[in-house]
Amino acid sequence: MKTISVLMCGIVAMSLVSAAVWAQENAPPEPPRRAIAQWDKVTITVEQKIGANLAILHGNPGVDTNHPDASGGRVAVLYGPDGVLMVDDNNIEVHDKLLAAVRSLSTAPIKLLINSHAHSDHTGGNAFFARQGAVIMAQQNLRDELMPNPDAPLPMPLDPVSLPVVTYNYDPATKGKPAVVIHMNGETVDVIPMMPSHMGGDSIVKFEKANVIYIEDFYRNFGYPFADQANGGSINGMFDAIDLMSNCPTTILC
């Protein structure tokens, strides 16, 4: 994920209600740690402050075989007196470290969590942060992608708390328009469903005041582009997604 600075029109508003905080003792046992990173050596820190109350959190380089530039996916955090809004939540193995990094910015309740796409380095902390009180939002396709595949030889058990509770859909007729607009901490946050591209249920998130878009993985700043076609991704959709960004004026994308 890389941040770029363009501006997005907002059209839809909705109110959001914080979910009840789940007691941590109700959490099921976590699955074994996967052998894709040196988890004990992973650190999660505030990589960059990109607005008055907006920050990007990221892991350190050289410890994650899937992310040589750093560990896991980036996390955007909007914080302030209205609470914390997060975009994505890195891998399940680092949720405690991610929470500590969020808490270095704010002690306010974590109220909203937007999933940009279903890959586990962006949604692994879902259940943990839902139990912190976050309401998870995503495309309906993403929610479907998180469901276990009953045809898999060893279907992974699903913690139902990890699933988004607020969903929306991509509509080609309103390409580039937000499905949800959130007013929080003096910021206007546009949640924009994308066409099937990196996966089948992707979203980008525009922070209007900060003039920043979190654009998830249809564009990456390392390796080859990757369309996860086994999970709804589309190479043509990745072209569409990049065109949607690059053809827009630098100030307004509608």
Least Å from the CB of residue 217 to Zn ion = 4
| Positive/negative CA dihedral, 244, 247, 250, 254 | negative
Nearer to Zn ion, 133 or 233 (CB): 233
Rounded to 5 degrees, φ, ψ at 219 are -125, 130
Nearer to Zn ion, 119 or 143 (CB): 119
For the chain, the first-to-last Cα distance in angstroms comes to: 22
Neighbours of 30 (CB within 10 A): 12
Nearer to Zn ion, 119 or 177 (CB): 119
Least Å from the CB of residue 126 to Zn ion = 15
Least Å from the CB of residue 214 to Zn ion = 13
Distance CA 132, CA 99 (A): 10
Question: How many residues of this chain bind Zn ion (CB under 5 A)?
Answer: 2
Q: Footprint of Zn ion on residues 8-47 (CB under 5 A)? A: none
The first and second tokens of residue 163, run together, are 């699933």
Assess 88 for contact with Zn ion (CB under 5 A).
no
Assess 89 for contact with Zn ion (CB under 5 A).
no
Per CB under 5 A, the segment of 34-42, 49-57, 119-127, 202-210 that binds Zn ion is: 119-127
For the chain, where are the alpha helices, taking DSSP H only? 95-103, 120-123, 126-131, 140-146, 235-246
Nearer to Zn ion, 74 or 111 (CB): 74
Q: Footprint of Zn ion on residues 152-171 (CB under 5 A)? A: none
The first and second tokens of residue 150, run together, are 């009953």
Nearer to Zn ion, 183 or 220 (CB): 220
Nearer to Zn ion, 93 or 217 (CB): 217
Closest CA to 130 of 108, 161, 101: 161
Among 217, 227, 232, 241, binds Zn ion (CB under 5 A): 217
Distance CA 94, CA 245 (A): 31
Rounded to 5 degrees, φ, ψ at 160 are -60, -20
Least Å from the CB of residue 170 to Zn ion = 17
Among 58, 111, 119, 177, binds Zn ion (CB under 5 A): 119
Query: Tokens 């993403």 identify what position?
Result: 142
Per CB under 5 A, the segment of 39-47, 79-87, 118-126, 180-188 that binds Zn ion is: 118-126
Neighbours of 31 (CB within 10 A): 11
What residues make contact with Zn ion under the rule CB under 5 A? 119, 217
